Amino acid sequence: MPMPMTMRKRISPIRWIGTLAPVLLALLPAPSVAAQSLQPADWDDRIRLREAADLNPDPRIVEVNFEARVATVEIAPDLEVEAWTYNGMIPGPLIRVGVGDRLIVHFTNNLPESSTIHWHGLRIPIEMDGVPGYSQPPVETGESFTYDFVVPDAGIFWYHPHVMSAGQVGFGLYGGFLVEDPTEDETVGVADDLVIVLSDIDLNEQGELASPDTGGSVGMLFGREGNHVLVNGRQMPNLVARAGAPQRWRLVNAAKSRYFMLDLGEGHVFRKIGGDGGLVEYAEDHEFLVLGAGERADVIVRPTGEPGGELLLRSLLHDRGYGSTEFRDFEDLIAVELADMPPYSGGPLPETSREIQPYDTEGATEVSLRLTVAQDPSDKTFEYGINDVPFWKAQPVLAELGETQIWTVENTTAWSHPLHLHGFFFLVLDENGDPVRPLEWKDTVDIPFEDSVRLAVRFDERPGTWIFHCHILDHAEGGLLSAVHLDLPVSQFKNMLEH
């Protein structure tokens, strides 16, 4: 792999720099003051994710070992399960890098079946995308593969397999991926931050992993949800908060089917400052926050109440289609204990902003995609498709390097579908064809049932065949998946052949 531009060589000091130091220091801007923690000590000890151990001394290279293996994990007091894990934990280790850093992951598969790692939302070379048949061979049992790439964008991302993904993600294979931008320390100004990975796991009456094909074709049609909801691998963990003091939460929905409709109680809002692709154009307050499978959000919250009291972060019922709200109840996610200390009475929540330049869509290629479902009259099994064709029969969408496309995605089914595009960001458009405000780079967008969504995407210099699919992973495996084949323009390809 070529040496990344972001790697820096250490240069020896120049002898005479000392005489110029006072002049240089006078010309430099005053250093920014880092935000200070407002929370009590150990406020997040019972919920914070464990981080991957960096083996490389270079500050701009993060190098880690990942082993996929079956291990016993505790998801609640007196409740252990033999799960599929990265490095023996659920979620897998949190990867923390800086924007522009190089990441090296030495992946070894010791599971009973082949696997890979897909880096969800990251704009990296096709060879590193982790999809068998498109970017790499599957990593068989006992074999290894090294992922090696430069991380181009700040934001909250995640990782998971792309082999039998509904089963493997459901068994516990997923983890958070945080790419930090040091300039946000001042623009956001909240020192107390937490990565929160939302998920679920399905256990049978014996406390073992339930079969990933429960319910057969009908189970696939609905999208299977686990019967134990987890937050950072635990059932309803606790965190401590000083009343009135802001916290920054980076939220990941790593569940294979479940939507989360988050609620912190009356009088609380989620100030959304970022999403799939980093900070959004400007902050916006939400009383409730909905995350479809695969989506992320970067929010600031300010728990309020009497010191010594308690709040609950809950997931309310969200209608993702037929059968998704009937005979169900809310899910308790996090118990927030208000510290026995004076409430914080600081100023308003931060007003963040980011300049985002929308794509020029004049002359963009129009692409129509219909999300469909059909039933085989012979055996009554169900099959999802895009434009009535499941992925194993589909022809890819064709795109040229540098081309802008506008996708109109119509959902004709009775269930919503969080559509995820590998390798690229897009902007969601409104009914007039203008980008939805605040502008937000997305890689996963909810397509509500019996509705349609338009989005604009530009395909850059990374040729390859990139898949897109519903991130209700049962739906993807049931046919709701296709690909974009990205290559040189025909005229440029002919010109290369002639010369």
Q: How does pLDDT run across 252-272, given as a tens digit for each residue?
A: 999 999 999 999 999 999 999
- Tell me the pTM: 0.91
- CA distance from start to end of the chain: 27
Backbone angle region of 254, left / alpha / beta, with phi > 0 → left and psi within -120 to 50 → alpha? alpha
Give me the pLDDT at residue 348, please. 86
Nearest to 298 by CA among 200, 184, 201: 184
Q: For 176, list phi and psi in degrees, rounded to 5.
A: -90, 155
Give me the pLDDT at residue 34, please. 64
| Spatial CB neighbours of 127, under 8 Å, sequence gap ≥ 6 | 135, 136, 464
Q: For 126, list phi and psi in degrees, rounded to 5.
A: -55, -35
| Spatial CB neighbours of 342, under 8 Å, sequence gap ≥ 6 | 307
Give me the pLDDT at residue 70, please. 98
Backbone angle region of 305, left / alpha / beta, with phi > 0 → left and psi within -120 to 50 → alpha? left
| Residue ranges per structural domain of the chain | 193-338, 365-497
What residue type is 302 in one-letter code? R
CA distances from 464 to 123, 477, 490 (A): 13, 21, 15
Tokens representing 316 are 């309310």
Nearest to 104 by CA among 141, 152, 142, 66: 66
Nearest to 481 by CA among 139, 174, 170, 134: 134
Tokens representing 262 are 């988050």
Give me the pLDDT at residue 33, please. 53
pLDDT by position in tens, the chain (length 499): 333 333 333 333 333 333 333 333 333 444 445 689 999 999 999 999 999 999 999 999 999 999 999 999 999 999 999 999 999 999 999 999 999 999 999 999 999 999 999 999 999 999 999 999 999 999 999 999 999 999 999 999 999 999 999 999 999 999 999 999 988 988 899 999 999 999 999 999 999 999 999 999 999 999 999 999 999 999 999 999 999 999 999 999 999 999 999 999 999 999 999 999 999 999 999 999 999 999 999 999 999 999 999 999 999 999 999 888 888 899 999 999 999 999 998 888 889 999 999 999 999 999 999 999 999 888 899 999 999 999 999 999 999 999 999 999 999 999 999 999 999 999 999 999 999 999 999 999 999 999 999 999 999 999 999 999 999 999 999 999 999 999 976 455 445 445 4
Give me the pLDDT at residue 25, please. 35
Tokens representing 100 are 């522009």
Tokens representing 153 are 């964008």
pLDDT tens-digit map of 209-267: 999 999 999 999 999 999 999 999 999 999 999 999 999 999 999 999 999 999 999 99
Query: CATH topology of 193-338 equal to that of 365-497?
Result: yes
Give me the pLDDT at residue 267, please. 93
| Spatial CB neighbours of 412, under 8 Å, sequence gap ≥ 6 | 370, 371, 372, 373, 450
Tokens representing 252 are 């990941």
Give me the pLDDT at residue 115, please. 98
Rg for the chain (alpha carbons), in Å?
23
Superfamily of domain 193-338: Cupredoxins -  blue copper proteins (2.60.40.420)
Question: Residue ranges of the alpha helices (H) in 60-205?
Answer: 165-171, 184-188
Q: Which fold has domain 365-497?
A: Immunoglobulin-like (2.60.40)
Give me the pLDDT at residue 185, please. 82
The full DSSP string for 353-390 is B--------TTPEEEEEEEEEEE-TTT--EEEEETTB-
